[in-house]
Structure 1
Amino acid sequence: MQDPITGSSNETIKWQPEPALRGTFTIITTCVITLLLCVYSSVHLNLPAINQNRALVWLRRTGWIFGALFAPEYIIFTAQIQRSRAKLLSDEAREAFKSGGNDVLGDAENGSPPRRNPWTSSHSFWALMGGIAIKPSSRKPFIPNSVQSTLTANGVSLLLKTSPHLLPDISVDEVKDKSKASSLTKLLACVQASWFCLSTITRFIQHLPVSMLELNAFAHALCTLAVYVLWWHKPLDVSQPVFVSEDELDPLLAYMWMASKTSRLPPKPGDEHVEYTVGKDPEFEAILLDEKTAAGELNSSTSGPVDLLELSDGSTDSSPTTTSRVEVTTTTSLCDTNFTSNPSSTRWVETRTETTGTGEDAKSYSYTTNHPPKFYLAPLDIHRWRLAHHALIKYKLSKPTKNLDLVTVDAIGETMEYDNKDSPLEPLWGIALLFLLGTAYGGLHALAWDAHFPSERERLLWRVSSCIVASPLAVVILAVIVILLSELVGLNDDVEQSSNTKQKEKHKPAKSKTRRIVGFFWGIVKGLTVGLLSTAIVFLYIPARAYLVYESVRTVFFLPPGAFETPVWTQYLIHVT
């Protein structure tokens, strides 16, 4: 009688080797699982905006997942920028916190307790991704609607330089606890990606056919490993920041709010045919502060500590309080601040665009209005200005003349700007890295140059698409040639001299007629180049990317027999199929 479990009571097998063949279903499931793990787990998004709609959060994540599917090298580029910025922030924290984080500079002066937890790379990533938010603590409001704002990288850097003890003192374990993915989860994704890479490389070595779907998944697996190297210390899927609310922080918050785009004028409501646009300068850009007055205040402030202003009922502030609006002009300042309005700010410029007619008969007319350079400050604004002025004096800060991007009420973008003042060429290296990664991605697909395709037309389209995707290398070479030619001819002199003083420009020799003509045509050439590249990206590069993904899926049903053979030893490595 045959045993229902073993099949036979007499015959047993001590060891059955893995089959040397695989099926189409195994190829598809292995590639799909690897792609899903790589694409989904490689996207380490920054925190969403405070109280952001959950649907918008998922929409944002979906967009990045599709981006990782069609352009995985862009995720590497983003990770490299963030890693570079996190390293700079860690260096600043090392300067701010003594003895590896046990003592804080200025603790004795501020009377705050020593820092218990060291600042690590995980802290830097957590801070950069929007992990620290600020709540106004003043009983008297000074931020519109008392909204909570998130510290940007620049904002965290400012706190490290002025009041590092105000930053949350949490351990690295607490930072990791906020992440929805543990190191074990990341390790499993890396193991799957590593197995897939080894399996594909082994097929190349043994001259076994590789399906286009495997080749595409191989490129994503390599990108995922690179991303995890760069983002290993970055928390994954953190949804809520740590809130800081201290009276001592209010002046700095007022300063940061007025120096960021959060203080821009709100757009004026229009209608279907009328649209209004106003200057996008932050509030501080529209304010002037007399340098001599500011210097005198700074000198006087060094003689003794400046008490925190408490502009609420029963405060000790000696300035007059009012419930009505206060007018600040170019000649009239706000009491106790010496802040006047800046007449050259774009804040006073309003453009009204009116559209008449419909369809082909539609016409647009624009009208520009220059409003008087006046502020009409409500009590909330007065309190904010005085707090910001207090921060200027206490921390010896300079009045910003541009958007410093210190706080935001939106989600912090994943693609950050390089901010390494010691290496001004680093942004160029970043762009070159992005283009070279794109070339490598296209080059991997070009490995299937002589692979089996259902038709010669599809083979030709694959080759052309691979070359187009690998073309950024040519763009890098062309850009280097353009820069070298510009330097050789001296066409970049104007850019360099624009930052010089007027005294230097006064003694600048006049351009020759030949150089002016060459410069004119050179500008045309550069404009045409930018236009052609933009057109090529829209009509060639993006379709080529899409075709590589489409053809990778289609050709899995037209594979030669050798594609179903497996390198036996790879079956014994841990993986998911």
Structure 2
Amino acid sequence: GFVPDPDGRGTVSIVVSCLLTLLLCVWQALHLNVPKRGETLWEKLVTNILWITVGIYAPELVVFTAWRQWSSARLLGKIATEEQNKVQNSLDNREDNGEGKGSGDVHIEKTTKRRVSHKRKYKWTGIHSFFASTGGFAFEIDDTFDEKGALQTPFLSAECPRRLTLTARGVALLAKCGLLPDIPEEEIRDKSKANTLAKALVVLQAGWMLVQVIGRLIDRLPVTLLEVNTVAHVLCAFSMYTMWWNKPLLPEEPLILKGDWVHPLCAYMFMSSEMSEKVDKPKIHSRSVVKRLFASLKVYLKIPELERLRIRLNSNCSHNDDNITLTNPGGSIKATLKRKSDAHPTFTLSSKRSLENLRSIREARKSSETAFFERRPRITAADRASTPPTQIHLRRWKLAAGALQTYPILRDQSFILHSHAPQTSIDEEDISNQVCIHCQPTELLKPYIQNWLYDDLLRNVGGLTVSMILWLSNFIYGSLHAAAWNEHFPTTAEKWLWRASCSYISFAGGLWIILNWVAAAYPPLNEFWERWMDGAKGRIWSIFLGIVVFVCGFSFAAARVYLVLEAFISIRDLPRKAYDTPDWTQMVPH
């Protein structure tokens, strides 16, 4: 005959239910970026294991990553929509005036100074924005030939990767130049491994776990520590799913952008990015222990090539100039590149005073735009002052000069400082009264988009806000576990270790919120931190702060590990009522 299921639940059902929910929330909710070119199966496996580990022990970091990517994609979508509307309005005006009908030409519009093309076939959506923010668009730079079939000088050195991935900032720049990729949404979906049914099953399983815990609280039944930990991951998973819903899952390859506009813009974007600068590795090893540690992890700040160059507008700084001059203020080199002639570049000495002003402006902007935790030690780059530019440099500068002339938006967006070119006897003409501008470099290209956050994402909030959101999520994670403050523990020692771990994690989050606020309000604290990272403090200070940072960091990691381990080992000794279940759960299939 019919035999109903026994009342209650057992140890196995508790562990299996929580473990299944935990793994689904961590693994299925994780959306990684497009991998680097040539990444092996082993490297992909290591990356996934690393992020799954982070998702288990620090899920709020993954939520924070999802939030940054979501906010960047949202802002990119807004920029793309605005630029599309401008282009469409321009095309409509041309049609109303009887211009450009039946023409397939791309032209420079006189009034708006932007590149205008045909009406887009496909609407730019949130999926496009997420795909672009995660490394979905790239350039592939191959050998080029001139009209006579002769091989042209490359503008990238042999050690540079030939596939350059556009960052979210890079795609936003394409939008402002009127060059946003026009592809159907279905093409991006085809690259995604996303499965709507799989997502729905994860949401249902996670939702059922949350409902069970709420039901136990209503019926005043004990909630195990494992369930508390699992609920924290469920809430994080819901947040990740909400923000990553439009993000393609596990795309393998980017879409390669092609066109006659690629090389000039790619040259400019490369020069604006940190990958354009080499690092003098022997000098790294001679610096502080902190800098060597960051350098070993390849986490350091380099000075892009564009920041070392100066742009001279040859007609009193007019935006209608035919000539663009790129100069090297790092030591002694200036190359005058004329678009309308094939004249050989001339070289003169450049101003050092303008460099000092440029650096002070850059540092002021960086401190307000960069989050406290995003600061990276500055690394001395390879010395370019004593080495004349190679043909590769000149070719790159010439292409970048062409981009600056074709797309005035580059000068409008990047302008940072005016300076006057110095008079010198080396040059054949008197340029002392000619105005130069300096540009603020931006991360526009990378070999590939890393999953952890750097300054390649778009954002419309300051560094202080970003930092506070990160540490607020950390505070919330610790507080969720503190909800089990008075729950049953196998031993008193385990109870107090749990309480100490929750308190320390929450305290650290709250402390860093305060420190970020103080650092923003009191710049000397920020400068002190950066000087320590750069090895500019004395040996005693470096050792003392190094010990403090190590002890605090190790304790922070140990507290997180303990919360996860204790959640599982506490299953060995549960109160009897922990095995009871609310009556209504027996009526719900699950």
Tell me the amino acid that sits aligned with residue 171 of structure 2. Answer: V
Instruction: Give 2:259's aligned residue.
Output: 246
Distance 1:134 1:283 in 2: 19
- The size of the alignment, in residue pairs, is 478
Which residues of 2 match residues 267-346 of structure 1 at below 5 A?
Answer: 267=280, 280-292=302-314, 295-296=317-318, 298-301=319-322, 330=332, 333-336=335-338
Instruction: Give 2:484's aligned residue.
Output: 448
Same amino acid, percent of matched pairs:
32
Instruction: Give 2:274's aligned residue.
Output: 261
Instruction: Give 1:169's aligned residue.
Output: 182
Residue 111 of structure 2 is aligned to residue 124 of structure 1: no
Tell me the amino acid that sits aligned with residue 381 of structure 1. Answer: H
Tell me the amino acid that sits aligned with residue 335 of structure 2. Answer: S
Distance 1:54 1:339 in 2: 50
Instruction: Give 1:136's aligned residue.
Output: 141
Decide which of 390, 398, 405 is 2:402's aligned counterpart: 390
Asked if the contact 2:444/2:456 (under 8 Å) is kept, the reply is no
CA deviations 1:411-448 (Å, max 9, x no partner) are 33432449777643xx3233222222222222222222
Which residues of 2 match residues 110-259 of structure 1 at below 5 A?
Answer: 110=107, 112-136=117-141, 138-139=144-145, 140=152, 141-145=154-158, 147-164=162-179, 167-259=180-272
Residue 34 of structure 2 is aligned to residue 34 of structure 1: no
From the superposition, tell whether residues 122 and 342 of structure 1 become closer, same or farther in structure 2 (CA, over 3 Å): farther
Instruction: Give 2:417's aligned residue.
Output: none
Structure 1 position 472, deviation (Å): 3.6
Asked if the contact 2:332/2:385 (under 8 Å) is kept, the reply is no
TM-score of the aligned structures, taking structure 2 as reference length: 0.71
Tell me the amino acid that sits aligned with residue 210 of structure 1. Answer: V
Asked if the contact 1:81/1:418 (under 8 Å) is kept, the reply is no
Distance 2:77 2:526 in 1: 33
Asked if the contact 1:195/1:573 (under 8 Å) is kept, the reply is no
From the superposition, tell whether residues 371 and 482 of structure 1 become closer, same or farther in structure 2 (CA, over 3 Å): closer
Structure 1 position 241, deviation (Å): 0.6
Tell me the amino acid that sits aligned with residue 566 of structure 2. Answer: E
From the superposition, tell whether residues 331 and 116 of structure 1 become closer, same or farther in structure 2 (CA, over 3 Å): closer
Distance 1:454 1:94 in 2: 58
Asked if the contact 2:75/2:459 (under 8 Å) is kept, the reply is no
Q: SS where residue 389 of structure 2 aligns? A: strand
Decide which of 52, 58, 78 is 1:91's aligned counterpart: 78
Instruction: Give 2:149's aligned residue.
Output: none
Asked if the contact 1:259/1:400 (under 8 Å) is kept, the reply is no
Structure 1 position 285, deviation (Å): 2.2
Q: SS where residue 134 of structure 1 aligns? A: strand
Instruction: Give 2:376's aligned residue.
Output: none
Residue 584 of structure 2 is aligned to residue 569 of structure 1: yes
Residue 552 of structure 2 is aligned to residue 542 of structure 1: no
Residue 510 of structure 2 is aligned to residue 466 of structure 1: no
Q: SS where residue 317 of structure 2 aligns? A: helix
Decide which of 375, 378, 393 is 1:381's aligned counterpart: 393
Tell me the amino acid that sits aligned with residue 290 of structure 1. Answer: R
From the superposition, tell whether residues 529 and 154 of structure 1 become closer, same or farther in structure 2 (CA, over 3 Å): farther
- 131-140 or 216-225: bigger deviation: 131-140
From the superposition, tell whether residues 454 and 147 of structure 1 become closer, same or farther in structure 2 (CA, over 3 Å): same
Distance 2:301 2:61 in 1: 33
Asked if the contact 2:277/2:303 (under 8 Å) is kept, the reply is yes
Residue 63 of structure 2 is aligned to residue 63 of structure 1: no
Ranges in structure 2 where 5+ consecutive residues have no aligned partner? 95-103, 108-115, 146-151, 325-329, 340-344, 357-379, 412-436, 528-540
Tell me the amino acid that sits aligned with residue 158 of structure 1. Answer: L
CA deviations 1:4-49 (Å, max 9, x no partner) are xxxxxxxx44xx6543211111111111110100111222111111
CA deviations 1:384-435 (Å, max 9, x no partner) are 22111100111112376454111111333432449777643xx323322222
Distance 1:551 1:418 in 2: 38
Tell me the amino acid that sits aligned with residue 458 of structure 1. Answer: E
Distance 1:113 1:369 in 2: 44
- 564-573 or 224-233: bigger deviation: 564-573
Q: SS where residue 119 of structure 2 aligns? A: coil
From the superposition, tell whether residues 481 and 46 of structure 1 become closer, same or farther in structure 2 (CA, over 3 Å): closer
Structure 1 position 292, deviation (Å): 4.5
Instruction: Give 1:428's aligned residue.
Output: 464
Asked if the contact 1:103/1:115 (under 8 Å) is kept, the reply is no
Structure 1 position 99, deviation (Å): 9.2
Distance 1:104 1:127 in 2: 25
Structure 1 position 245, deviation (Å): 1.8
Tell me the amino acid that sits aligned with residue 299 of structure 1. Answer: N
From the superposition, tell whether residues 52 and 270 of structure 1 become closer, same or farther in structure 2 (CA, over 3 Å): farther
- 124-133 or 180-189: bigger deviation: 180-189
Distance 2:247 2:134 in 1: 9
TM-score of the aligned structures, taking structure 1 as reference length: 0.73
Structure 1 position 256, deviation (Å): 0.6
Residue 414 of structure 2 is aligned to residue 414 of structure 1: no
Structure 1 position 281, deviation (Å): 2.3
Distance 2:287 2:61 in 1: 39
From the superposition, tell whether residues 163 and 433 of structure 1 become closer, same or farther in structure 2 (CA, over 3 Å): same
Asked if the contact 2:169/2:443 (under 8 Å) is kept, the reply is yes
CA deviations 1:539-566 (Å, max 9, x no partner) are 4221111111111110112111111112
Asked if the contact 1:100/1:118 (under 8 Å) is kept, the reply is no
Tell me the amino acid that sits aligned with residue 442 of structure 2. Answer: L
Structure 1 position 198, deviation (Å): 0.7
Structure 1 position 81, deviation (Å): 1.2
Ranges in structure 1 where 5+ consecutive residues have no aligned partner? 1-11, 307-327, 347-366, 497-525
Q: SS where residue 150 of structure 1 aligns? A: strand
Tell me the amino acid that sits aligned with residue 333 of structure 1. Answer: A
CA deviations 1:261-294 (Å, max 9, x no partner) are 2211255689999999999322222222224458
Distance 1:567 1:494 in 2: 54
Q: SS where residue 468 of structure 2 aligns? A: helix
Tell me the amino acid that sits aligned with residue 440 of structure 1. Answer: I
Tell me the amino acid that sits aligned with residue 562 of structure 1. Answer: K
Structure 1 position 481, deviation (Å): 7.7
Structure 1 position 51, deviation (Å): 2.0
From the superposition, tell whether residues 333 and 415 of structure 1 become closer, same or farther in structure 2 (CA, over 3 Å): closer
Distance 1:38 1:247 in 2: 45
Structure 1 position 383, deviation (Å): 2.4
Structure 1 position 56, deviation (Å): 2.1
Distance 1:270 1:431 in 2: 31
Asked if the contact 1:77/1:430 (under 8 Å) is kept, the reply is no
